[in-house]
Amino acid sequence: MARLAGKHALITGGTSGIGLETARQFIAEGAQVAVTGRSTQGLIAAKRELGNALLTFSSEAGDVDAQQVLADDLRTAWGTLDILYVNAGDVTHRPLADWDEATFDAQLSTNLKGPFFLIQALLPLFADPASIILCGSVSAHIGLPQSSSYAAGKAGLLSLARTLSGELKDRGIRVNGLSPGPTETPALGKLGLEDAAEAALRNEIRALVPIGRMGTPRELAKAAVFLASDESTFVVGTELLVDGGVGNL
């Protein structure tokens, strides 16, 4: 199939996990794809894995000025944009008592402020029609301990799916949220836990999921393909939960 043939897609945080798999699926569906990441090695590895046709940009998702630089780079490379998948995120979880202002600001900049200004910077590039996909989280719907700052940022991002759809619909731009539940990604391995502690955490996470397992990046990527494609042209300002039932059962 080629559901995204002729389309240009940007995926932020596209060098691993859900973002990388989404880039793979977008390419398989015929799209030209660009990804962002902070790690030079990660960007090199993504291009090695997905091919030289993949565009890569080093960009910090929480830096407002960097969003305009990214938009300028895309204007030079393509001149137009059909799909934006805001996937980059800071997944820091910690008890309320352990937060400080600097860490709070850094997380909200990555998860909410940066994406807001990226969309603003990209406005002149968006085609008509275009699809914006905002990566939310089921955490915005449940009272998961230690997720306070993370869940608040994701709730704000999901709100943008509604408000920006209302504002941009006359330009043919759809904005929707795509909210994962617990998903098997490299993020868990970056928490610095001992093997036994990480295994215990994975078991705790699986216990949250009604269907008894974590999701896979491919399952999220396939949902992103749907929201990016013309199959979802009547899906506007809403949220697709891909969470194994966590948010509803």
150 is catalytic: yes
| pLDDT tens per residue across span 36-57 | 999 999 999 999 999 999 999 9
CA distance 216 to 63: 29
pLDDT at residue 35, as a whole number: 98
pLDDT at residue 194, as a whole number: 74
- The catalytic residue among 25, 150, 209, 224 is 150
CA distance 120 to 195: 42
**Coil, strand, or helix at residue 180?**
strand
Residue 202 burial (C-beta neighbours within 10 Å; 0-12, 13-18, 19+)? middle
| Domains of the chain and any CATH numbers | 8-242 (3.40.50.720)
- pLDDT level of residue 192 (50, 70, 90 thresholds): low
User: Is it the case that residue 85 has pLDDT exceeding 80?
Assistant: yes
Question: 34 - beta bridge partners?
Answer: 10, 55
pTM of the predicted model as reported, rounded to 2 decimal places: 0.95
CA distance 108 to 110: 5
pLDDT at residue 40, as a whole number: 96
State the number of CA atoms in the 13 A half-sphere of 78 facing the CB.
24
Match 């509604």 to its residue by tokens: 162
